[in-house]
Chain A
Amino acid sequence: MASIDIRDIHKSYGKIEVLHGVDLAIKDGEFIVLVGPSGCGKSTLLRMIAGLEEVTGGDILIAGNRINDLAPKDRDIAMVFQSYALYPHMSVAQNMSYSLRLRKTPREKVASAVSAAASKLGLDPFLERRPKALSGGQRQRVAMGRAIVRQPKAFLFDEPLSNLDARLREQMRAEIKKLHGELGATSIYVTHDQIEAMTLADRIVAMHGGVVQQVGSPLDLYDRPANLFVAGFIGSPGMNFIEARYQPGEGSPAARLADGTLVALPHAYALEPDTPVTLGIRPEHVVIGGEGREAAVELIEPTGFGTILHLALHGLPFKVFTTDRKVLNAGNAAAVSFPPQHLHLFDREGARVAAL
């Protein structure tokens, strides 16, 4: 177990820079989740920590020691791959014990480490099988087992659950969380599944285009997204955005929409009057019914737990999530209103505007 410090990490492939200076301080025992859209450099960052990619610029420190130039095997980390990368010619037990055997660990120690890991992961019945003869979920467990037998300083996960079906993913997610609770090892987990990110993380690192957008606890990112990207990326269905202009008013700040109507804001902001801003509101925070602005219902998606309404508000697409099973049909009109305390305000550059 150890802290991991990432200092101004750059990565280029030839002339193309894919990571533009990433800084991250990970505390001992913390569970960090890297999220971001495909191609934003999550895997690249993880693989640099693992030693599988060369560092173009910056430093990586594990437990305070610079490890930029250390071989992967000398970094004392374990990695779980999306493809599991199990050795097909070895049995489950051999897969799990490979690293220990390479380190010339005494036989009894290897056996006890493997059996402890196997019973923790429910793999006892499969120890003599080849990976070929296992289901996807079982293979995933073997990959986890291979990582934990060694008791490394840190675990790295690169989308370990993305090859599993939804039900199994949910189950493994809970198990990973439980396992982290028991082992308490520093973990970095890459995913683009935001439910995984929200449920697992102590802190989420949201990345976009090779740049860290925001670091914070899951609810931090959900409640106070630092910019439009994070606001749109975290949450499902995604946040609604409306172009508007800021109106300080006289003690009653508001945003003027394109059609001239006003939306009341919770606070005053340090903005010039008439500054263009983007209003954000999550679909689950929009209130349906009562007083409000007219919107046409275009499509209804019942999810069982609730319903996603696709509306056209002032001609723009707009989503609402409601657990209220009111009978609204496509073609109906709905009245929507925006509770001020749930509104987010972003400036022209997309950065969150802080309240005065």
Chain B
Amino acid sequence: MATTVIAEQSPHRRPLMQRFARGSEPYLYSAPALILIVTVMLVPLVVGISYAFRDVQILNPFSGGFIGLDHFRALAEDRAFLGALRNTVWWTGASVLLQFVFGLILALLLDKPFTGRGIAQALVFLPWAVPTFLTGLNWAWLFNPVIGPLPHWLHALGILSEPNNILSDPALAMWGPIIANVWWGIPFFAITLLAALQAIPRDLYEAASIDGAGPVQRFLSITLPFLAPTIAITILLRTVWISNFADLIVVMTKGGPADRTQIVASYIFTQAFTRLDFGYASAIAMVLLVLLLVYSMLIVVLRQTLLNKD
């Protein structure tokens, strides 16, 4: 009894245990959440990363040993990997840019009232609901001159010299999955940009039109600044997501012809599930992870500076 009284009077002389209990209190409270996050997110990540430094081949029962940086050395020499890296940039850049541009145009159109807008909005968001696997198959068939109309139309328009399958043309094959991806991904941009557009106060446009701004000036001085944060964050998300997104490529071209549509993600898929070399696949995945982290950091910093400017 006496000791507690003293302890309360002079906080500097609390017993060690009590001080420890006080100090650890916040950590104890947050422990359940932290433990959950660590087990669910970090453990698989660490195990996956550890594969990159080990020789893990499913078909080789003697594999599993630690091999240090061997995978990365092999990777630096791997021409297929470097090609995949180049293809990834191309695939991601073209897909994101086209999705964004068409998504923005669509959002702007849907933001204006017109009869049948409700139905149009519902239809526009439809592709998003189609499983990627089906999307890939569908477009693969559309590009197939035996059953699909697209090669014949493109030929008729003079874009193709022969009504061939562009998916088997090394120079054009990448356009196939990109077009499928754009079709499938436009709704994401349209939805998020439309939501951001509708949050812009109408009276700003009215004030601007009284001030003398035409449609283009209103877009540049009101719409764009309001959309900028949303654009930055959606482009960041989609870039990371699309560069990891191999479904369409695996379904439509399997990385061919001659690896011309092989992106890093599909290369990882091939290494892991066709060659069954999990160690090498993990090493590639790690390189991709680091590249994407660097990219994300850059965007976050960019966004922060943009926001601080306001």
Listed in ascending order, the chain A residues whose CB lies under 8 Å from chain B are 50-52, 71-73, 77-79, 81, 83, 85-90, 98-99, 102-103, 130, 132, 146, 150
* Pick from A52, A88, A99: contact of B211, CB under 8 Å: A99
Is residue B210 contacting chain A, with contact meaning CB distance below 8 A? yes
Q: Beyond A77-B210, A85-B203: 16 further Cβ-contacts under 8 Å?
A: A50-B206, A52-B206, A71-B209, A72-B206, A72-B210, A73-B212, A81-B203, A85-B201, A85-B207, A98-B208, A98-B213, A99-B211, A102-B212, A103-B212, A130-B310, A146-B211
Q: What is the distance, in angstroms, from B106's C-beta to the closest C-beta of chain A?
A: 24
Q: Which chain A residues lie closer than 8 Å to B225 at the CB level?
A: 88-89
Main SS class of interface, A: loop
Q: Could you say which of A73, A77, A86, A130 has the most chain B C-beta atoms within 10 Å of its C-beta?
A: A73
Given known pairs A85-B201, A87-B204, A102-B217, the reply for A79 and B222 (CB within 8 Å) is: no
Residues of chain B lying within 8 A (CB to CB) of residue A103: 212
Complex CA–CA separation, A99 to B210 (angstroms) = 8
Kindly provide the distance from the CB of B84 to the nearest chain A CB, expressed in whole angstroms: 41
Residues of B within 8 A of A89 (CB): 221, 225-226, 310
Interface size on B, residues (CB 8 A): 18
- The dominant DSSP class at the B interface is helix
Report if A98-B209 is in contact (Cβ < 8 Å); known contacts: A85-B201, A87-B204. Answer: no
Tell me the complex Cα distance, A356–B207, Å.
51
Min distance, Cβ B210 to any Cβ of chain A, angstroms: 5
B: residues with CB less than 8 A from A are 201, 203-204, 206-214, 217, 221-222, 225-226, 310
Alpha-carbon distance between A98 and B222 when the two chains are bound, in angstroms: 12
**Of A78, A87, A130, the contact of B222 (CB 8 Å cutoff):** A87
Give which listed residue, B206, B221, B226, contacts A81 with CB less than 8 A.
Answer: B206
Give the Cβ gap from B203 to chain A, nearest Cβ, in Å.
Answer: 4
Question: Contacts of A102 on B, CB cut-off 8 Å?
Answer: 211-213, 217
Question: Inside 8 A of A51's CB, which chain B residues have their CB?
Answer: 209-210
| Nearest A residue to B221, CB-CB | A87
Select from chain A the residue with minimum beta-carbon distance to B206.
Answer: A52
Q: Nearest Cβ in chain B — how far from A166, in angstroms?
A: 24
B226 — which chain A residues lie within 8 A by C-beta?
89
Distance, CA A150 to CA B208, complexed state (A) = 13
CA distance A79 to B217 in the complex (A): 19
> B210–A50 contact, CB under 8 A?
yes
Please tell me if the beta carbons of A73 and B209 are within 8 angstroms of each other in the complex: yes
Q: What's the nearest-Cβ distance from chain A to residue B250, in Å?
A: 43
15 A-B pairs (CB sep. < 8 Å): A73-B209, A73-B212, A79-B206, A85-B201, A85-B203, A85-B204, A85-B207, A86-B207, A88-B310, A89-B310, A98-B208, A98-B213, A98-B221, A146-B211, A150-B211
